[in-house]
Amino acid sequence: MTTLFTRIIQGDIPGRFVWRDSDVVAFLTIEPMAEGHTLVVPREEIDHWIDMTPDLNAKVFNVARQIGNAIQLAFAPKRVGVIIAGDEVPHTHVHVVGFRSVGQLSFAGVDRSASSDSLDAAAEAIRSALRSMGCHEVSQ
């Protein structure tokens, strides 16, 4: 069965993409823990992150690192964290989240009513930061 993330990747459901390459995409979640909360997702539907090949795992985490650097540049959080839970959508994804206190890293505290304007602005800030870092995989 096609996952929600595959439907977003294929364009069946809109997404705010900040990164696209042949193996990995990154897009903002619609329920962010913090400004710029981004999901890094392999294009291939792999349910559990430990089932990724070593090469794909390395690529996903390299993209997560690039996105983390862009979040740091764009929003100046105290730290950038990653979370791999994988329970809510059966398609591997890495949450990349800037935070000021570790308490922000909680699914209980997501913003379920984030405005389209704020999400669009956050996506553009990340894209701009990625471009300034020389990344060519930035989504348009």
CATH number reported for the structural domain that contains residue 101 in this entry: 3.30.428.10
Contact present, 73 and 26 (Cβ < 8 Å): no
Burial call 109-120: b when 16+ CB within 10 Å, e when fewer: ebbeebeeeebe
Most confident region among 16-20, 84-88, 104-108 by mean pLDDT: 16-20
140, part of any domain = no
73, part of any domain = yes
Q: List, for residues 49-75, the tens digit of each pLDDT value.
A: 999 999 999 999 999 999 999 999 999
Residue 46: CB partners within 8 Å, gap ≥ 6? 52, 56, 91, 92
When the pLDDT of each residue in the chain is averaged and rounded to a whole number, the result is: 96
At 63 the three-state DSSP class reads helix
139, part of any domain = no
Domain that holds residue 122: 4-132
12, part of any domain = yes
Q: What is the pTM of this model?
A: 0.96
Count of structural domains, the chain: 1
Q: Which amino acid is at 13?
A: I
